[in-house]
Amino acid sequence: MTKRLSAPEDRTGPLSEIIKNLRLTWRLLRDSRVPIWQKLIPPAALLYVLSPIDFVPDAVLGLGQLDDFSIILLGIWGFIQLCPQNVVQEHLERLSIEMNPWRTVTDERISSPEQETESPQVIDVEYEIIEDQKPEQDGGEEPSP
């Protein structure tokens, strides 16, 4: 099993979680190990959004669209929860590797400094990239504009 180390800018927000779940849903819909009856959940949620019958009519600005958006998210969440968890976990691991392959490490416990182990240790730290400064010109004077 692999685990991603994250830099501060890699931390996920609500929008990236939604995108990840959409990609996961797409992968699960194409997987033959997921039963067909479960694959009907996301299209049913989409059908609700497209149908003229709503719990909250779309004429009510804001609430009508929020109703549709929440049904889509609920349908995706329910679909992922009902899918076989070993299949979901496998696709999540593949997605994390595809999204950031250079930051994957094996899932090993980091031991305290007192414990001596021969396994490699990983330290997750925050970092900042600073642009290199150009070397000064001969004579040490700043160039005139």
What pLDDT digit, counting tens, does each position of 73-120 carry? 999 999 999 999 999 999 998 988 877 655 545 555 544 455 445 556
Residue 80 in any domain: the answer is: yes
In a domain, 34, yes or no: yes
State the CB neighbour count (10 A cutoff) for residue 133. 6
Q: Is position 24 within any domain? A: yes
* pLDDT score of 53: 79
- For 24-73, write each residue's pLDDT tens digit: 999 999 999 999 999 999 999 999 888 877 777 777 677 778 888 888 99
Nearest to 57 by CA among 70, 47, 66, 44: 66
Q: Is residue 96 part of a domain?
A: yes
Q: Cα 113 to the chain's mean position, in Å?
A: 32
Quote the number of domains for the chain: 1
pLDDT of residue 41: 94
* Residue 98 within any structural domain of the chain: yes
User: Is residue 84 situated within a structural domain?
Assistant: yes
Q: Give the structural domain span for 52.
A: 13-102
Type of residue found at 102: W
User: Residue 55 domain-assigned?
Assistant: yes
Helix (H, G, I), strand (E, B) or coil at 5: coil
pLDDT value, residue 128: 75
Q: Is residue 108 part of a domain?
A: no
